[in-house]
Amino acid sequence: MPIILSIIHQFNCSTINTNNKNNHVANTTIITIINLSNNNNNNTIYTNTTTTVPNNKGPLIIGGTEAQAGDNPHQCSLRWDGQHKCGASIISANWLLTAAHCIPGDHDILSVRCATLFYGEPGLDFKVSQVIEHDQFDGFDYDIALVKVSDDIPLGTPDLDKIGLPDQDMDPDPGTVLTVTGWGYRDYKVEVLSDRLMTVDVPVVDRQVCADDLLDIHEVTDRMLCAGYDEGGRDACQGDSGGPIKHDGLLVGVVSWGKDCGLPHYPGVYARVGYFRDWIRDKSGV
């Protein structure tokens, strides 16, 4: 009788694949089953089978990688009472763009930290002198706000610079790959911010497809754009809100909402900056 010994060896792919090219296998667990058997001549026969199964734990932003110095000089942390709350993007020496839902009732508790990859480490901090929330913000729609800082931001260095804005009505085509960054949760169920800025690429999802996906949560309007993979696994999450999603060096969206994070069939939703280009100019002069 052959003796069969099975060794089940598991390892989480997300711990070994942390570059963009391999992200299609992040969020999977590889299980290798090693079978040792004895044949009648007392020789050991070795076979192995490997299978991959999905798991729901995205390793980074959700399914992303560490952002590198100099790649996101427009990225700032919007702080409430000195604690990271949201992302924000520098659009001029005085103004940042963020989400309306990132603005507290008491504007005096707001500050901004820029020029650092680590939200908890000193960068350049700024006081907030003025906040303009979109007056049609209803909790989901028109989720956009302007934040003015009291001192000029010294722009034009690798760590600190503004990001360009798209033209009015710019609406990226479905499939266009965008890049979202932030210090938000790496796992929706583990409510811990990422110390280091993270980045992930996600394609634009057709607005009608997205509206059907999110039908049970909220309407998807012309003020929004959606991005994500149908299989999930790569997304923005809580703490990334208000931060940038960019394409070709332009700020095309602001992290806004979603059904949890990284779930299959639930793309992330962003305020579409192209809808608000004229509003930004009217309110800030930028």
Q: Which of 89, 111, 241, 284 is catalytic?
A: 241
- For ligand 4AZ, the closer of residues 24 and 259 by Cβ is 259
CA distance 178 to 204: 7
Picking from 17, 15, 45, 49, the residue whose alpha carbon sits closest to that of residue 31 is 49
Q: Rounded CA gap, 30 and 194, in Å?
A: 25
Told to judge if 241 belongs to the known catalytic residues of this protein, a careful annotator would answer yes
Please, is 197 exposed, middle or buried when counting C-beta atoms within 10 Å of its C-beta (0-12, 13-18, 19+)?
buried
Nearest approach, Cβ of residue 101 and ligand 4AZ (Å):
7
- Catalytic annotation, pick one of 14, 111, 143, 247: 143
Q: Single out the catalytic residue among 74, 84, 101, 134.
A: 101
Residue 139, Cβ density class (10 Å: 0-12 exposed, 13-18 middle, ≥19 buried): exposed
Binding site for ligand 4AZ (CB under 6 A): 235-238, 240-241, 255, 257-258, 261, 268
Position with the least CB separation from ligand 4AZ: 258
DSSP state of 113: E
For residue 8 the two structure tokens come to 């089940």
Given the complex with ligand 4AZ, which of 140 and 276 has the nearer CB atom? 140
218 is known as an active-site residue:
no
74 tagged catalytic:
no
- Three-class DSSP category at 28: strand
Nearer to ligand 4AZ, 88 or 160 (CB): 88
Minimum CB–partner distance for residue 30 and ligand 4AZ (Å): 26
- List the catalytic residues: 101, 143, 241
